A and B are shown apart, each in its own frame.
Chain A
């Protein structure tokens, strides 16, 4: 024990590796630098474990809560094929949560603990799902553009260092490609349809643009802390880089349909970078901390579902059950 070593609590980078065995840390970092994956029972720094649990768990919660705004329109989908497709998509999202929770569990946090942290509001989930889907067109914009954003994030993270998370993401990305095509098809149908349909999809796009711009989060502060997370391949791309990638891929497709975006400053500059009005980060913080239009409803629905299912889960439980952490 290094009793006298003083670590400045303001030096986040030093705090992250405080107390770690330097030899083990060096071997761990060398493994990641060689492009090898870390598996659940390998030695890892405490902070690596903590950050991954937080990230994967939040990702899982986002899939579960994301099913709620989209599910809003299942009962009133326009036609049987659309209804089947939307049910399949929502089921996929819930399945993705299962895969992600499983990956987080391998790091030592039980599924019960994750669900408890979600329903008490301790854990966060993607902020966009605190907004309502007012019309069918909102569900279409979510399916196309929120899923597009999620794919950019997930493709980047699938190249990360933690084996179970990468495997879950590979499976998820394959399924998301259907969501993206499905969402695009829906938006194109509305945008090329009757004047009323066009009006509906334009209104939904205008409503969803600010949350979409919030989706990747505020600009990362370039700190030693971020540098370490990037070196450990926990964080794979900066929030701004992902936002640029999203704008580059999707703004032209939106404009192709003759739809407009509610930001007069949005344009690609001579260097090929997108310029835009800085999103309202105060609004982002207000919503993420519980002040959005749907936060309370989302969590109440989640709690209700857990409570109503509890007697079934308890009835099925057998006396010889014994939990051990999944292997992979």
Chain B
């Protein structure tokens, strides 16, 4: 039995030569992707995964893992296997013509025209 500096370990009466069966597949369950919302009004952000046997446990582990510091008001968990993701090799689908000013706010500048018009009055 281990005589440890840690009284909890001594009390647990652990055999120093304990051999155990290796963990089998799925011993640690499957994974859930965790989404965390800091404050009401913020977007939920992906923060990582937890291993859990079901969604309720995933929320509990998610709270311990990603909500034990700082602000949190809400968590979502989704089974990893239920996420359908695009492929990085297909990143070119996000490329469009280089000039996209026509679909951005900054592409529309009217003050010059207004000032010129006012001067001309």
Contact = CB atoms under 8 A, between A and B. Distances in A.
A115 B6 CA distance: 23
Interface string A118-150: 011000000000001110000000000000000
A266 interface: no
A99 B83 contact: no
B111 interface: no
Interface stretch (A153-161, A205-213, A244-252, A296-304): A296-304
A7 interface: no
Contact of A318 (B8, B53, B64): B53
B20 A306 contact: yes
A164 to B, nearest CB: 9
A98 B48 CA distance: 10
A328 interface: yes
A41 B87 CA distance: 8
Interface string B1-45: 010111111001011111110111111111101000000000000
Interface stretch (A49-57, A226-234, A309-317): A309-317
B28 A112 contact: yes
B91 to A, nearest CB: 10
Contacts of A72: 4-6
B7 A75 contact: yes
Please classify the interface of chain B as helix (H, G, I), strand (E, B), loop, or mixed, using the class held by over half of its residues: loop
Interface stretch (A268-276, A279-287, A319-327): A319-327
Contacts of A313: 27-29, 53
A217 interface: no
B109 interface: no
A114 to B, nearest CB: 9
Interface in B74-117: 80-81, 83, 85, 87-88
Given A71-B6, A115-B23, A317-B29, A98 B50 contact: yes
A110 B23 CA distance: 11
A323 B25 contact: yes
Contacts of A175: 69
A159 to B, nearest CB: 19
Contacts of B17: 300
Contacts of B7: 75-76
B80 A316 contact: no
Contact of A322 (B2, B30, B50, B64): B30
Contacts of A68: 6
A323 B28 CA distance: 9
B51 A317 contact: no
B33 to A, nearest CB: 7
Interface residues of A, number: 52
A140 B53 CA distance: 37
B54 interface: yes
A165 to B, nearest CB: 12
Most buried by A among B15, B28, B64, B81: B28
Contact of A95 (B22, B49, B51, B65): B65
Contact of A327 (B14, B64, B65, B83): B83
A296 B1 CA distance: 12
A301 B20 contact: no
A105 B31 CA distance: 11
A75 B29 CA distance: 32
A115 B91 CA distance: 35
A111 B26 CA distance: 9
Nearest to A42: B88
A304 B54 CA distance: 25
Contact of A321 (B6, B14, B49, B53): B53
Given A42-B88, A303-B20, A307-B18, A326 B31 contact: yes
Contacts of A307: 18, 20
A39 B90 CA distance: 13
18 contacts: A71-B6, A71-B8, A74-B8, A91-B68, A296-B16, A297-B4, A300-B2, A300-B18, A304-B15, A306-B20, A307-B20, A313-B29, A316-B29, A322-B81, A323-B30, A327-B80, A328-B46, A328-B48
Given A41-B88, A75-B6, A325-B80, 8 more contacts: A91-B64, A98-B50, A132-B5, A168-B48, A306-B20, A313-B29, A317-B27, A324-B31
